Amino acid sequence: MSETDLRSAIAREMPGVRADLERLIRIPGIAFDGFDHSHVERSAEAVAELLRGCGLDTQIVRHGGQPAVIGRKAAPAGAPTVLLYAHHDVQPVGDPALWTNDPFEPTERDGRLYARGAADDKAGVLAHVAALRAFGDRLPVGVVVFVEGEEEYGSDSLDAIIQAHLDELRSDVIVIADSSNWDIGTPALTTSLRGIVNLFAEVKVLKSAVHSGMFGGPVPDALTTLARLLSTLHDENGEVAVDGLIGREGASVDYSEDRFRLEAGVLDGVRLTGHGTITDRLWTKPAIAVLGIDAPRTSEAANALQPSAKAKISLRLAPGDDPKSAYAAIRAHLEKFVPWGARIEVTLEAGGAPCVIDATGPAFEAARAAFASAWDGAQPVDMGMGGSIPFIATFQELFPQAAILVTGVEDPHAAAHAPDESLHLGEFERACLAEALLLKNVAETLTE
């Protein structure tokens, strides 16, 4: 099919693709503990139905965790096989009061579709479906569509699924549709991602709570102790102050502070932390955030010294660092700097490796040409990502000969993981067209 044919086909398919996206969004498939996982099952069934409708031999698989979906269509003689990845599970919505509308009822406003999962990553699933529908029975490559069911929860069973279906997933090109574009109107390939280590730090100072008036003064309370400990993770300028973590400079993309502040929603007067360019601080240096603290609610707090306090800490690793050594470094820091002789217990929740992708070669040039065509001549940016997709390192290890293309349907205003997550509908259509053109270009470039 020609580019003109594919443009017409994508335009023809978009109303149905959007309708199917909205149906998928309405299924609240959250893989976290404490949620109704029957919805994740329903979501997997819906994805499987979509893939079967594209003519793929489809199965729902699991290995101890939530259901994933694998759909396959064999390659024409001599043609390459492309693996198309996305995930159908979503983040919890948090406080529903912070959403303008029901998080699972897709609502269009100003050219954007608002709902949980609209951008991350159910639109990634439907981008794959749109490309397949555009070709119909004239698909020029083999495809394996792999849609995971617990990516937001940490991909605990992903390695087992890949190992169990290694031959089915083997491919020449891997497209991971779970990242972002540089801006509205400017596509991107993600070529580096930070890793992640999540851990808990709990301090203990008393056998039980005691009266704050009778014992306050000589006795340190656990919340103050924890606060002082957490403050040692950064220096006075907000730079990470943990020895042993890797960081570097060198990101070349221009990202102005004004644009960053606007996209992040930083309040006027709040200074940014750390030093170096915005892209260095986001992509090639470590970052530490306190995600939560177990403590009494202020409305319920008694006049008592708390005996213990616990924090969840998230460490983002720069490319080149290792989760095991990074965890050892932050654990050693916390144990060294805990004040006043308080007892401390540090436990690892989960970790994932960072990655760097060598974005050279025919598959990457095929992708860049596809993006430039879909975005009417706008050249794609090679960008880093401050977030983490740890399983990319797994794909790199298990499929060393495959070209890994990290793409996505998000933009800087998508608010993934936050209230009022949204998808720019115009950019979504461009992403669908870009994927169809990518399959066409890969077929022309890599077919023997």
151 is catalytic: yes
Of the residues 13, 22, 89, 221, only one is catalytic, namely 89
Pairing of strands 355-356, 188-193: antiparallel
Of the residues 151, 280, 321, 411, only one is catalytic, namely 151
Active-site residue set:
89, 151
